Structure 1
Amino acid sequence: MNHCHLLDIEFEYSEQKQTITPVLLQDEKDVILVDCGYPDFVPLLEQAVIGCGLRLDSITKLIVTHHDMDHIGPLAALKRAFPRIETIAHEVEAPYIAGTKKSLRVEQAESTLDVLPEDAKPQAEQFIRFLQSIEPAAVDRTVADRERLPWCGGIEIVHTPGHMPGHISLYLPESRTLIAGDAVVIEQGKLDIANPQFTLDLEEAVRSVRRLLDYDVERLICYHGGWFQGDAKQALLQLVHEYTS
């Protein structure tokens, strides 16, 4: 029996209440976490996992959709606490997660410094220092587009670049479930591109949404927004139309 648990984690960030939705996949042999939140989120993750009737030390694998701070924040801490966890990411994304390449978010933030007004620069510099403080962690296994992992009834890797070059989504054919990561988000009940102003390649991000239409999606899970309520295929089609018309 395969299970898909949504870990809706509520917290406060920048004086605003927010929710992220990592996903926990479970079969007879493995417990797989998809993304893990901000730095220092291990206690929040532990609470959410216990709420599913499991424990953090039962996690065998951790799939990272991309190297944004809210997806890899406690990864190094988790690997230290639970050395058996195997970390999996796209081959393009792996060096950023491991710290052998400079974070693309740091590069992006640094590139805006010269055009910011002087009174905005201290806050921007503080944000850059925060990004730089995220501890790198080794990736144990890299994956490529269309690769099928054998766990939990099969997990197909869907390379969905745009938000970041190595971003991946996951398709579970057994349940026709798509774990979108940040390929799309839910805002006020509607699908949208995640933070279009910060997406590294918006045109590529829209092409990635179009690629998702190749899959028979009955259930759609967004890292920001959780379960999508409604016709996922129609909503993806509408989103592509909004950005290309």
Structure 2
Amino acid sequence: MTLPNGVHDLAVPYERDGHELALHPVAVETARGLVLVDVGLPGSVPKIREALDAAGFALAEVSTVVLTHHDGDHAGALAALDAEADAFVAAHADESPYVDGREFPVKADPDGDRYPPAAVDLELVGGETLNTTVGPMRVVNTPGHSPGHVSLYLPDHRLLFAGDALVADHGDDRLHGPKPQYTPDRERAHESVGTLADLDVARTLCYHGGLVDDGTDRIAELAARPLDE
């Protein structure tokens, strides 16, 4: 499977329970630099830099960051990255308070530490379109896994960046719904799978699991299942 020219799966490695896995931030080329979709865990900037270098880019070429949501494995490195790249940051309005420190992250231990807050320059509401070299990239509201989770869709290539609204890390190269244990509002998240099923998708890039050939048919199958199945 290959991605369109101008789309780069950064596949940042990390370790969990003694196993090496990968998170999948995405860099998308535009006329004004790179859009980086999600930034990874705290301490990930060197790994992001290395992945961008392998793709032929410098960290300074990141002009915009779009967060799918505020969880620490997606937004934890934002403050450090912004200090180096001075990127314009966009996140859904319902995610922004958790990113910038006004609210404590929903799934974080309230007695523990949080990742460093960072400013959000643009609060998304859903339906926005970003211009890229590979065509329009649309913001799709997919709440449930977090209050203002968004996914991103490239209609010209029938390609979906699902964030955590869908995952592909079950070991079978198939799409699955969001992980229940990390999804506070499962009913709303299930409705969001239905929202994605309305798109014309051929392939899906998940933050957990990477690129899979599953698209609309598989997403519709997941949406049609009972919530607890």
Q: Which amino acid aligns with 1:22?
A: P
Q: Which amino acid aligns with 1:218?
A: A
Aligned equivalent of 2:93? 91
1:28 deviation in Å? 2.9
Aligned equivalent of 2:116? 135
1:198 deviation in Å? 2.2
Aligned equivalent of 2:202? 218
State the alpha-carbon separation in 1 of the partners of residues 151 and 104 from structure 2.
Answer: 23
Aligned equivalent of 1:118? none
Aligned equivalent of 1:243? 226
State the alpha-carbon separation in 2 of the partners of residues 233 and 60 from structure 1.
Answer: 31
The one of 32, 38, 57 aligned to 2:35: 32
State the alpha-carbon separation in 1 of the partners of residues 190 and 114 from structure 2.
Answer: 31
1:139 deviation in Å? 0.3
Q: Is the 8 A contact 1:66 1:93 kept in 2?
A: yes
Q: Is the 8 A contact 1:159 1:169 kept in 2?
A: yes
> What pairs with 1:1-245 in structure 2 (closer than 5 Å)?
3-83=6-86, 85-106=87-108, 109-110=109-110, 129=112, 132-152=113-133, 153-186=135-168, 187-188=170-171, 189-229=173-213, 231-244=214-227
Q: Is the 8 A contact 2:15 2:21 kept in 1?
A: yes
Say which is worse superposed, 205-214 or 24-33, in terms of deviation.
24-33
State the alpha-carbon separation in 2 of the partners of residues 138 and 2 from structure 1.
Answer: 31
Which one has the largest radius of gyration? Answer: 1
Aligned with 2:22: secondary structure?
Answer: strand
> Which is richer in helix?
1
Unaligned runs of at least 5 residues, structure 2 = none
Unaligned runs of at least 5 residues, structure 1 = 111-127
Residue deviations 1:72-97 (CA, integer Å, cap 9, x gap): 111000111122x1001011111110
State the alpha-carbon separation in 1 of the partners of residues 5 and 92 from structure 2.
Answer: 24
Residue deviations 1:48-75 (CA, integer Å, cap 9, x gap): 1111111111110000011111001110
The change in CA–CA distance for 1:239 and 1:15 in structure 2 (over 3 A counts) is same
Q: TM-score, normalised by structure 2?
A: 0.91
Q: TM-score, normalised by structure 1?
A: 0.85
The change in CA–CA distance for 1:227 and 1:72 in structure 2 (over 3 A counts) is same
Residue deviations 1:133-175 (CA, integer Å, cap 9, x gap): 3100000111112122234422211010010011000111222
State the alpha-carbon separation in 1 of the partners of residues 203 and 165 from structure 2.
Answer: 15
Residue deviations 1:160-195 (CA, integer Å, cap 9, x gap): 001001100011122221110000001222222232
State the alpha-carbon separation in 2 of the partners of residues 227 and 149 from structure 1.
Answer: 21
